[in-house]
Structure 1
């Protein structure tokens, strides 16, 4: 498809009203990591990218490689949205622009095959995700990982991928079958459904297990629909919006059968996308109202635990330590959740929460951004670790698997693997419950 045809797609599909909402005031600039890290280049700011989108739509510039590079260099962290006085939905504009370019630009056969394998073959299929995680576990437990490191075979990989390999968590055994319903421990306060995700339910399945246990302890009957699938966030952010819509419909149908009061998730990136299904399917008459009803039920684990006053009743305690918290961008900027995780951490006896500077600024993970844009990602991570190290914390707590992997990589990269760790909030809270029970009974 020619650049002229891409421009026509911009005219047909981009929301002109939303583009015009940007007043070019610049309030977004101090919140944008790529604007800051690029030396304040306007084309790498939210208002600069909106200006590029509008210029393409109006035929002033062509959608060339420079425009595509500017859009791809964006983390999609949406930190610009809470500070925008006009309430511009920048994340939606970015997704639409990327989708148009991705679907209508020429691609080499290897790229087409790779995208098909990842977006249509791997993530939508939980059985394939389990197999992939099983292979990773075999690599870690069979001695292959040890041999690969000792023989320096991994040196053939780019440095950022070597770092990611070192930061990978120990993958748990992959179970095909599990319970579909979990009873509350004590009086039932709420009936909830749990969104297990794809990466969370394979590589981070122990965190999912911890999340379900916390919900049970908080007084929730928990339903886990077996036919749920990937949330579609990776697809939506990477120019595969049609596939994202198909996944959204499958999830809506799966969770409608539960009749739950809330749909609980423990991954900020998933949560923000799930809570935006209403917009994603707004033009589909069969799913318009259903998607809105679904999105209204999406709740983060920290929010529901605070709502049910879990932190006031559970015996939360740990050995004395200092921790810090790295906000999940999409949890904070997409769902508006920032206080609840901090309330829970502050309630743990023996734990001191010390805020790092710019805890709300993206860590550089952003889905697969750290793989596709390694230079900018590592630059952001280096600055993030400088701020984390200044807190002298022994744990960096976060609420998203991508953030956890990125911060684990940062801990390795900064030479603090011996005295610092990256941990998910759910795992940290369950540790506090288990330690608190032992302490109270001794």
Structure 2
């Protein structure tokens, strides 16, 4: 809970830092309302809609309301999916307003000691350091491979955790060993004639917990005719920092990544995680006031492309792609669709796979409820959104749910587990499915 003094400081910074022109751009038309999962699942509460949150931000700027606990709850309940942005006739950059508001609140609020320790550990001690990420993931590998996981499940200890976390433990991917995570490539030649030179953004969780998907991504790029450079000095994208009110940390990570990639001379910077990609293309906004980095950030943004987009550009969908007979469906990554504007390309690739029937899911473009760590910190709302999503999934009769983001992948696996469909249905990242389809 914020004190009166903290609220006064927050109000002061809202006045000086929030983009009032952007706040005033919202015409309160309501086009955003049908696209907002939290507005719908909360029973149409205005304070849980984009329009309502913008109105609250403006009221804080104007001194009409205090930035109290209810105000902070409204900000935190937002998934940050940014589905409101493509439908906004005024082009309001809601995601940027949300990040700025969260940063102001977080930087001027005194957290409890346990929360301060956790935040410092995660945002300063863990995610900026890939070697520490590998160490932590290596411990998870030991847990999975040593028999400890089986003991934990049989003992019933998992029942002590919230249901969503206990279920999440069941759907975690088989993690590579510490040795495997250390031996990562830095340069790969194309298979066949070279068509493009690309740099690969390997990410933090993607190159540890989801390392096999990164390997599949690089293999597809090679098959498509790409020379690949993987800069060793790259870092976490910074999305988790920015979404959690740690904007300065996000800026430092952005600068590290821009410096790591700009000397390569690649045609594109390729990402395979919608959440990471969306934040990478927002570097220009993040660093817009920095005279040293602003132009460099724009150049970085202009080269960033999702794996599905370059595969379509290189006509990968015209290759012979084949899978066993089945129905497949696709769950959009919110940030890939709403920020990177990449929605047609994944579908074009999936529709090209022989023997399969692509069935478009109802509301495939709505959030699955993962949203980074949202499914942990706002578990109840997240599971409510997921349950609604799974009704649409089941209506397709699909055997395979395809995603393009690690958080979405785990969330859909969690949905399958919660519905008791593990024997009938699977969730898979699009690059892993395409590698199957190309016969590798």
- Report the equivalent of 1:6: 10
- Report the equivalent of 2:338: 333
Separation in structure 1 between the aligned mates of residue 170 and residue 391 of structure 2, nearest angstrom? 20
- 1:37 aligns with one of 38, 41, 64: 41
Output one character per residue of 1:321-362: Cα deviation in whole Å (capped at 9) or x when no partner.
101100000000011100000000010111111011100000
Separation in structure 2 between the aligned mates of residue 42 and residue 381 of structure 1, nearest angstrom? 21
Separation in structure 1 between the aligned mates of residue 241 and residue 302 of structure 2, nearest angstrom? 22
Separation in structure 2 between the aligned mates of residue 13 and residue 167 of structure 1, nearest angstrom? 41
- Report the equivalent of 1:191: 197
- 1:419 aligns with one of 395, 406, 424: 424
Shift of 1:112: 0.5
- 2:185 aligns with one of 165, 171, 179: 179
- Report the equivalent of 2:358: 353
- Report the equivalent of 1:267: 273
Shift of 1:178: 2.3
- 2:20 aligns with one of 16, 23, 28: 16
- Report the equivalent of 2:120: 116
Q: Quick check: 1:147 aligned with 2:151? A: yes
- Report the equivalent of 1:310: 316
- Report the equivalent of 2:372: 367
- Report the equivalent of 1:397: 402
- Report the equivalent of 2:390: 385
- Report the equivalent of 1:100: 104
- 2:261 aligns with one of 255, 264, 269: 255
Separation in structure 2 between the aligned mates of residue 214 and residue 413 of structure 1, nearest angstrom? 32
Name the SS for the 1:99 alignment partner: helix
- Report the equivalent of 1:218: 224
Name the SS for the 2:80 alignment partner: coil
Separation in structure 2 between the aligned mates of residue 310 and residue 424 of structure 1, nearest angstrom? 17
Shift of 1:2: 2.3
Separation in structure 1 between the aligned mates of residue 112 and residue 291 of structure 2, nearest angstrom? 36
Gaps of 5+ in 1: 436-442
The 5-angstrom pairing of residues 226-237 of structure 1 reads 226-237=232-243
Separation in structure 1 between the aligned mates of residue 226 and residue 110 of structure 2, nearest angstrom? 50
Gaps of 5+ in 2: none
Give the TM-score, by structure 1 length. 0.97
Shift of 1:139: 0.7
Separation in structure 1 between the aligned mates of residue 160 and residue 42 of structure 2, nearest angstrom? 28
Q: Quick check: 1:58 aligned with 2:51? A: no
Name the SS for the 1:24 alignment partner: coil
- Report the equivalent of 1:300: 306
Alignment length, in residue pairs?
434
Name the SS for the 2:305 alignment partner: strand
Shift of 1:172: 1.8
Separation in structure 2 between the aligned mates of residue 315 and residue 144 of structure 1, nearest angstrom? 43
Separation in structure 1 between the aligned mates of residue 374 and residue 409 of structure 2, nearest angstrom? 14
Name the SS for the 1:221 alignment partner: strand
Separation in structure 2 between the aligned mates of residue 323 and residue 389 of structure 1, nearest angstrom? 11
Output one character per residue of 1:209-239: Cα deviation in whole Å (capped at 9) or x when no partner.
0000000000100000001000000001110
- 1:135 aligns with one of 136, 139, 152: 139
Separation in structure 2 between the aligned mates of residue 53 and residue 227 of structure 1, nearest angstrom? 38
Separation in structure 2 between the aligned mates of residue 269 and residue 2 of structure 1, nearest angstrom? 31
Q: Quick check: 1:431 aligned with 2:436? A: yes
Name the SS for the 2:228 alignment partner: strand
Please tell me the root mean square deviation across aligned C-alpha atoms, in Å: 0.7
Separation in structure 2 between the aligned mates of residue 345 and residue 127 of structure 1, nearest angstrom? 35
Output one character per residue of 1:236-291: Cα deviation in whole Å (capped at 9) or x when no partner.
11100000000000000000121101000000000000001001000111101000
- 1:203 aligns with one of 196, 205, 209: 209
Give the TM-score, by structure 2 length. 0.98
Shift of 1:143: 0.5
Q: Quick check: 1:408 aligned with 2:413? A: yes
- 1:278 aligns with one of 265, 269, 284: 284
Q: Quick check: 1:320 aligned with 2:322? A: no
Name the SS for the 1:410 alignment partner: helix
Separation in structure 2 between the aligned mates of residue 176 and residue 189 of structure 1, nearest angstrom? 29
Shift of 1:315: 2.2
Separation in structure 1 between the aligned mates of residue 304 and residue 426 of structure 2, nearest angstrom? 29
Name the SS for the 1:345 alignment partner: helix
Separation in structure 2 between the aligned mates of residue 56 and residue 283 of structure 1, nearest angstrom? 24
Shift of 1:179: 2.1
Shift of 1:93: 0.2
Name the SS for the 1:2 alignment partner: helix
